[in-house]
Amino acid sequence: QSVLTQPPSASGTPGQRVTISCSGSSSNIGSNTVNWYQQLPGTAPKLLIYSNNQRPSGVPDRFSGSKSGTSASLAISGLQSEDEADYYCAAWDDSLKGVFGGGTKLTVL
């Protein structure tokens, strides 16, 4: 059981907007920043969003992040087939140290 809770799966059709949630507590999301990673099949994870809502250079602006209280969300607009991947949230926990969500498998229908 992961410290950060994500839905195991999400889906959408091309062009749609989908959101993935990440729920934590006051010791992690509530007091530290959240990052999101995208893992395409058979590859290493890639930083998608950092510091709650910042995109690294090269990440399309279709991807956005937000945080409120002890929860965070990743939104993907204009869904594309190449967005089919696993998505993980991560944050520092003041007691448990580095923690990840269990991951959400996104399917593009």
Binding site residues, another protein, CB under 8 A:
2, 32-33, 35, 37, 44-47, 50-51, 56, 88, 90-92, 94, 96-103
Q: Provide the minimum distance between the beta carbon of 15 and another protein in the complex, in angstroms, as a whole number.
A: 29
Q: Provide the minimum distance between the beta carbon of 37 and another protein in the complex, in angstroms, as a whole number.
A: 7
Closer to another protein by Cβ: residue 4 or 76: 4
Instruction: Tell me how far apart the alpha carbons of residues 22 and 3 are, in angstroms, rounded to a whole number.
Output: 10
Q: Which of 66, 77, 60 lies closest to 12, judged by CA? A: 77
Q: Provide the minimum distance between the beta carbon of 92 and another protein in the complex, in angstroms, as a whole number.
A: 4
CA distances from residue 95 to 3, 28, 41, 71, 83 in whole angstroms, order as listed: 11, 8, 32, 18, 33
